[in-house]
Each structure stands twice: as C-alpha cells, then as structure tokens.
Amino acid sequence: MNELNIIATNSTPMIRTDGASGTLQLAGDSYPEHAFEFFAPLLAWVKQHLAQTDAPLRLELALLYLNTSSVRILMDILDQAEEAFQAGRDVSLTWRYDSDNERVAELAEEFREDCSFPFTIEACETR
C-alpha cells in the first residue's frame, strides 16, 4: 500500500498516512479547487487500508476550515470508517481545533452525531 505524505498549501490540507499503525492525519485548511481530484488518493488509501489490512484506523484531524466539497469527502471517509467499525474494526477519531474557532467545533460535533466509533473533539490553544 502506498503511503501518502502531501504537504499543506494555502488551500489544501497536509495529508499523512501510516498503514502499519493505521493512522491518517489531516491538518490545515481544506478548500481545494478540485476537491474530488485532490482527495482521490486519500479515498483510495482508506478503502485499500480497510480492505487489505487488519490494522486499526486512527483518524487525526486538525482542520481549520472546510468548504462544502471537503465536507462531502470527509463524510465519505467517515461513512467508510463507520461501516468498518460496525463490522468489528478498531476505529477512532480525534479532531483538534483552535479554541477560538467555534465554527469548526460545531462542525466536528455534527460529524460526531453520525458516528458510533470513539470520536474525541479537543480544543487547542494557538497563541
């Protein structure tokens, strides 16, 4: 399985994967012009990881802003994670957000309502 190590830009998040530990990290702003093309390798990685390994899936998010297309992609990833969790897979998510950004905290809460796997939301100080 190919690991991802995509450096963040002004409009795209950092993406880093580690198949051995099952860790997927996303951090930064997410409003790519062509979201589905940008996230295609990530969606493929999640699908392949869940299909070809027994490793857990550990989602670690530190997203500052997401546009509508990025929200849809994240929903797809969380749907796959939820399906895997319901099938007995070890899945968890930690979403860290800037304590001054309540909008992201509210978004994380909305996502958490649709997930039955362990989903932690943590405020972080950025000053």
- Span 10-31, mean pLDDT? 97
Question: What is the CATH classification number for the domain harbouring 58?
Answer: 3.30.750
Whether the per-residue pLDDT at 127 is higher than 60: the answer is no
Question: Residue 12: which domain range?
Answer: 5-124
User: What is the C-alpha separation between 114 and 9, in angstroms, rounded?
Assistant: 29
Distances (CA, A) of 4 to 16, 46, 69, 76, 98: 5, 11, 20, 18, 25
State the pLDDT confidence band at 124, using cuts at 50, 70 and 90: confident
Domains of the chain: total: 1
Whether 126 contacts 98, CB under 8 Å: yes
Q: What is the pLDDT of residues 63-84, one digit of tens each?
A: 999 999 999 999 999 999 999 9
Identify the sign of the CA torsion 34, 37, 38, 42: positive
What pTM was computed for the model? Answer: 0.93
